[in-house]
Structure 1
Amino acid sequence: MTAKYSTSRAHLNSREPQSQVYQPIMPSTPRLFRIDSQIHALCRDLSLASSLDHHFLAAKYDQLAELYVAKSAITRQSSDLHLARQAYDCAIEAGQTAINSAPSSYERGVRYCFQGKRLEDHFDKFDSETSLDAGINAYEHALQFLPAEAAALRVEAAVNRANLLSERFDKYNNEDDIDAAIESGRAALSIAGSRQRASICNDLGLHYQKRAAASSIPTEDLQRAVQYGIAACQDGRAADYRHRTLNLCVARKLLFRATGDIEQLVPANAELRGLLASAPADLRAQVLVRLAVVTLMLSSASGRRGVPLEAVQMAREGLSSARRDDVEDEREELVLLIASELAEVDRLGRGVGEIAAELRAGRDPILRA
């Protein structure tokens, strides 16, 4: 299946329809047919659009890029992904021209928001470092041009900037980035409406967890992560409430590790058990594995020896059904926790390292998954 359209700069300066703008071939599925029909319609619109309406052109190329990404997910054809890249390139170019020709400071700020989102999408799809940096800059410019009265847009720009800075911290481990992410998130929270606050608090909790992981003195950041996590979970009706609760429980567990405060494990245990009762199938495995970890930690902190059977059962079920990427950290944590406990009661005198190696290799039935 092939499709062609022109993404050259010449197209932005011409109202003439392009030759061979689109050449659909009969698709193999109804969904592919719908996508091809939408691509055809967009290419027609682009060929007829005014070369002076760059904001319109950028929006249309955004849509075209998304459609080619969706199509490539079905066809697995590199040519479709290449066309998606071309469409994004045209959208970014047209978007920058639209910014430069904005009739007012406010409109320029709005268009910088669109450009930031466009670059963010490009980074998400293609892991483009250039788009990551440019997206952060676009949101910074948006905040410079948007007036205080445009609070909703300022919140969106500040939150998105914070999340991109956090992504860049993941890549380069530059503490300035995570510091700036936290500052931007807190600025957004200070002007956010009630409906936005819980989501921003969840983001801030994750930013503080990241900064704590890079710090030699993580306690204060982890305390903040727990505080923001609690605030994020106040709205039990939120679509991502369960994921927010998981984030909070991770923060509590990390704070326990840093301080030895068992009072962090007690609510984490209760929160995870509450989640387990209502967790959908795609989340149940993650909840089970995290609950197994917390159960083991709580048992050990309470002075009990040996591995609780309940934790073993949860670990087995969770690890056998979870995607490995979702529980990789917890898998290793379970190995070390169980090895530590087994070493205390092992009659053969094996050390923690030896037992952990056997668990990782699957030679011990406890964590075979």
Structure 2
Amino acid sequence: MFPPTRVQAISRVVLKVFHLILVAFSLRSNRQSRLTLWLRFLIWLTWYCIIWTQSVIFAQALDCPLDCTLRHVLTFFQTVSHAFIVAATFLNGFRVQQDQLDEVIVLEDSDPCVAFTVLAMLVPILSVEYLVCSNAPEYPFRTWMYHLKTLPSFLALQVQIISFILEVMKVNIRVRQTKLQLQILARELSSRWPQRKQQPQFFDQQTQRVKDLKRRYNDLHHLFVRINGSFGGSLLTIIIVYFALFVSNSYWLFVDIRTRPPRIFAVLLNLGFIFNVALQMAAACWHCQQSYNLGRQIGCLISKLVKPQGSKRYNDLVSEFSLQTLHQRFVVTAKDFFSLNLHLLSSMFAAVVTYLVILIQFMFAERSSKRTSG
């Protein structure tokens, strides 16, 4: 093999660092010892027990308006979601034969496109957290405590969905390679054939190539099944949390814009949270939509392989391949509750507008009741 280029070496370092971040947030078991798994699990469990106990005490001791209620709900959603992923990783660490999706399943750890995607998504996350920390003295106590309690969980959920996007990207690269090989085979079996291509020996040679493509398609479908099994539960919880975050931060953005004088840092902070959530959801849905589209395109290309002059064995194999693409779709789901695609993204944004209007109505009702009582 050739030695890696400078870009590949940098990409490998970036992806290795990202993998260590996944391990630090207990999102990957990384074949660690049982003692390490237990210690890491107990540390996170202690942290979340403290947060949940404190949240219950503060909720009972203080008067909690709509803004405070939203923060308690988001704290619960984010911490419970991360705790669920930590518990699942902890249990997976004790399996004798693990389904190691934490390892790179397609390429070496030096793909520049994947490394660039990691950096492109981590930079906005770090920028928002810098805004949070740099303007900490200006926040009320409740707001600062909310950011402090949810910081590890929120970072963990974002890192988890980034790792999911990377896995889908890697599989899509292999799907595109399979599609290219299928296009080459279809061109060779074009309608204008020399006389030798109408001989049975030629179809016998191409039968093996079709079998190889059929086997490769089955392997790709198995990779999507592995992704659904490894990320399905965490995707379901993350999307629920992201929906709540999008609605809540949109509501706080509306409130901060109406405040006189407007709080610039608060507006930028809410915009940053909304941008990160929208970017990660859009990237995840877009890549999953690409997987589905590429699978459909492969199914359409198979029809070009059917040749009346060919042998019955060859045409039966092509028909079987076509049926396989109909039944084995490249679909990513969240535990079969819904599929990740662009339709989910549009439906989610439409629901955000609906719940945002409801929250704004509650805000005006709360303020009018305070004026009446005052």
With structure 2 as the length reference, what TM-score do the two structures score? 0.28
Higher relative contact order (CA 8 A, sep 6+): 2
With structure 1 as the length reference, what TM-score do the two structures score? 0.28
